Structure 1
Amino acid sequence: MKKIEIRLEQIEAKITNDDFLKNKGLGNEVGYYIFDYPPQDELRVRQHIADLKAKINQSTGGLKIVEYDLYKLVIAVLKERGYLEKCFQFEKAKGLDYTYEAIIKMLRLTSKTNLLVNHIIEHTPPHSIVFITGVGKCYPIVRSHNVLNNLHQVLDSVPVVMFFPGIYSGQDLQLFGTIKDDNYYRAFKLI
């Protein structure tokens, strides 16, 4: 069995543990966790998340996993706000870099009124666990540090797990194992 398989099999026991569900980490920090994994295992991780989510959500224990795929969330919010077609027009007329910047501004990704973070807060019920996925799919538009830092300030009632295709050292993130982010994170390694 590969190392990723062993780590994936440990997730269920971790997230159903009472200490985890109380949403307090070491030193009573809010429970934010990162599950890092080699990018080449993306499809295996996605399948495991789908299976685990189905198992937990169909159980009678009342616990629910709410998954937010950042890429799908970006598309949904852009559609909802009537921006998606504008983005296609921007890309044709002004190029990809201009479009990235326009999307970042449209979604207010660098402000306290971040539309993705607001969506997550508004749609997360009590007694749930938030899974954040799609981190690699939405790079470079959405940066994981923006989501984590903004969520950490306003969502403290449920545990949050970010599935990260890369390396989390316990202090910084390297997307795909190569793109280093110099931001410090207050998150725990899940497994």
Structure 2
Amino acid sequence: MASIEERLDKMEAKIKEPKFRDTTGKANEVNYWVFDYAPEHELIVRDRIEYLKNKNSRGTDGFELFVYDLYDLLIAHLQDKNFMEKCYQMEEKRGIVKVASAIQRSLKITDKDNMIVEYIAEHTSENSVVFLTGVGKCYPLLQSPEVFNKILYNMPQHFAKVPMVLFYPGTYTEQELIIFNEVHEDNYYRAFRLVR
């Protein structure tokens, strides 16, 4: 089995291939990808993403790399709305499931004017590759199937060719999502593993 460094090298090579950005996915399907990794490699993955972002800023890759930490977006939204203290109180009184539901309503996660979708769409050029990180930090407030079904699928149509890569601390089999290699999330099969 390849080491995390070898898999990250393959990921870097793959996103630089012009055909990776010139398609809407296999058989004209969505251009959504998952880079899954062992949770204990989180810091290695974060470091490589930061390295790639800095390297890409030189403008020699032929595309722009956008990195969005979903946890940072979620927290920024809650802070902007002065909801942090309310979330703490709600969790204490009603539990984390109620907090997650309230946060998703606040983000309009099921609506076309979904706050995360709008943020990504406003800040991303069309000739780009998008990395979505922080899903492990968000769990259980925002889970991976919701990222795919309620965020990525609501992206404006002109982003159909933009490859979106979800960095997933766990296992993705192209059917099952197992966050932290412990908790089975809803099955999902429309994204492709970026590196095996």
Q: Which TM-score applies when normalising by structure 1?
A: 0.89
Which residue identity is paired with 2:4?
I
Runs of 4+ with >6 A deviation: none
Deviations 1:157-180 (A, max 9, x none): 411000000111012211111211
Provide Cα deviations, 1:1-34, integer angstroms capped at 9, x if missing partner: 9611110111221001011011332112231110
Identity of aligned residues (%): 46
Letter in 2 for 1:184: Y
1:70 and 2:70 matched:
yes
Structure 2 length-normalised TM: 0.87
Q: What code does the residue aligned with 1:66 have?
A: F
User: How many pairs align?
Assistant: 191
Deviation, 1:64, is 1.3
Asked whether 1:102 is paired with 2:106, we answer: no
Q: What residue number does 1:79 align with?
A: 79
Quote the RMSD (CA, aligned, Å). Answer: 2.1
Deviates more, 1:78-87 or 1:125-134: 78-87
**5+ unaligned residues in a row in structure 1: which ranges?**
none
Q: 1:104 to 1:24 in 2, by over 3 A?
A: closer
Where does the alignment leave 5 or more consecutive residues of structure 2 unmatched?
Answer: none
Instruction: Using the TM superposition, name which of 38-47 and 1-10 deviates more.
Output: 1-10
Aligned equivalent of 1:169:
173
**Is 1:37–1:164's contact at 8 Å kept on the other side of the alignment?**
yes
Letter in 1 for 2:139: Y
Matched letter for residue 20 of structure 1: F
Aligned pairs for 1:123-142 (under 5 A) are: 123-142=123-142
AA partner of residue 121 (structure 2): I
Amino acid at match of 1:4: I
Letter in 1 for 2:164: V
C-alpha distance in 2, partners of 1:70/1:8?
20
Q: Could you tell me how far 1:37 is from its partner in structure 2?
A: 0.4
